[in-house]
Amino acid sequence: MVELVSRFKVWLVLGAIAAAAGVLFGAYQHGVTVTDEKWKGEWNSRNTRDAEAKAASEAAERSREQAYQQSINKAVQDGQRTIDQATADAAADRTSRNGMQFAVDDLTRRLAASEASGNSCTAAASKAASRTAAMLADVLKRADQRAGDLAAIADQALARGLICERAYDGLGR
């Protein structure tokens, strides 16, 4: 019987050790679970803050981008007005140039008609002067026309350059 009691005590001690180990293991598992939940909460909180910061940053960048785009659009509109004005000025210049060219053509015709009347000696000299005047008038007409065309091209190139400059300056602000 003593042997039975001592075996019972061994089993009782082993059972107590196993129960204590089970309680300790359960407490450890509970601690791990609590710690995991705490860290999951911290990570979720950090992820939420990061998402909010990202959304705020994207909204600020969109706002800045829209301001840049508005600045560029304004520069383009102003430039288009300048280009339109240059085109209108070129058309007005063409109109005044056409009037001047008509006057030169009329003067050349009158000079040619006046050379036909007169004596033969002065007519020959007058005819040579008339041809020279007509050629000079034609050269001047062509030079004036080309100068007007180049001025129109230069005005439009200047306007386009100013548009690019204003658009670029708008990006830096």
- pLDDT tens for the 173 residues of the chain, in order: 667 778 788 888 888 999 999 999 999 999 999 999 999 999 999 999 999 999 999 999 999 889 888 888 888 888 888 888 888 888 888 787 777 777 777 777 776 666 555 555 555 556 666 677 778 878 888 888 888 889 888 888 888 888 888 888 877 75
Specify whether the CB–CB gap between 148 and 94 falls below 8 A: yes
Parse the chain into domains and list their residue ranges: 2-171
pLDDT at position 71 is: 84
Q: How far apart are CA 117 and CA 111, in angstroms?
A: 10
| Signed CA dihedral, 149, 151, 155, 160: sign only | positive
Other beta carbons less than 10 A from residue 86's beta carbon? 20
Element holding 33 (H helix, E strand): helix 2-116
DSSP secondary structure, 63-83, as one string: HHHHHHHHHHHHHHHHHHHHH
Given this model, what pLDDT does residue 118 score?
A: 52
Q: Looking up tokens 């690019």, which residue turns up?
A: 164
Structure tokens at 29: 């598992």
Q: What is the pLDDT of residue 45?
A: 95
pTM: 0.51
